[in-house]
Amino acid sequence: MERRQMLKTCVAAATTAGVTLTATARADRKTFAPIDSKKMVATALECLTTGGQGCSESILSAGCQALGIESDLVPGIAMGLAGGVGLRGRICGLLTGSSMVASLAVAKKEKDYAKRKMQSLQITGRLFDKFAQQFGSCRCRRLCGLDLTTPEGRKKLNEEVKFQVCTRYVRQATKSLARELMAL
């Protein structure tokens, strides 16, 4: 399914279910509370290791908390992005979750849609490039070394790899995201 069609389907389903796609924030469009990188990292790691969240949900939770964005949709809206989008081992959920946070942050600061879109795309591009440079790939299956479509792969992830491998990626991706948010 094309990305645009998937988004339309998600919005239509949410609307049908009576879900309002809004978020409340503690800051106005022009300012954020100071971003605490260490706290963001700690929150993301806690969400991943003890909160039962996947990497995409963890970084979305930490980023939204840092931005003062509260919504019943967070972190659940990122749930399907885990394991390289639907456990397919493709793009790491840290990157898709980071992209969501960056877009939300830019939307809080910029009213003009075209400017928001371009700024969000630029931030996301930088995050992807930095991650690929640091870790040699942006693909979940390559990063974690597991086929998460299998019960064995998911078991190994939850018992071992999440704690020994993925935490390193979470730490670095969250630091990079925090730096981008501070620069806004």
Q: Where are the domains of the chain?
A: 32-183
Among the residues of the chain, which ranges form H helices? 3-16, 37-49, 55-67, 93-109, 113-135, 140-144, 151-156, 167-183
pLDDT value at 156 more than 50: yes
* Residues 97 and 60 sit within 8 Å (Cβ to Cβ): yes
pLDDT, mean of residues 136-165: 97
pLDDT of residue 109: 93
- pLDDT mean across residues, the chain: 88
Give tens-digit pLDDT for 20-58. 444 444 334 456 789 999 999 999 999 999 999 999 999
Give tens-digit pLDDT for 104-119. 999 999 999 999 999 9
In the chain, what percentage of residues exceed pLDDT 70?
83
Please write down the long-range contacts of 110-117, taking CB distance under 8 Å and 24 or more positions apart: 110/29, 111/29
pLDDT value at 19 more than 80: no
pLDDT of residue 63: 98
pLDDT of residue 107: 95
Assign 2 a pLDDT band (cuts: 50, 70, 90).
low
pLDDT, mean of residues 165-183: 97
Give tens-digit pLDDT for 51-90. 999 999 999 999 999 999 999 999 999 999 999 999 999 9
Assign 16 a pLDDT band (cuts: 50, 70, 90).
very low
pLDDT value at 147 more than 70: yes
Residue 80: C-alpha distances to residues 62, 108, 141, 177, 183 (Å): 17, 25, 16, 21, 29
Model confidence, pTM: 0.83
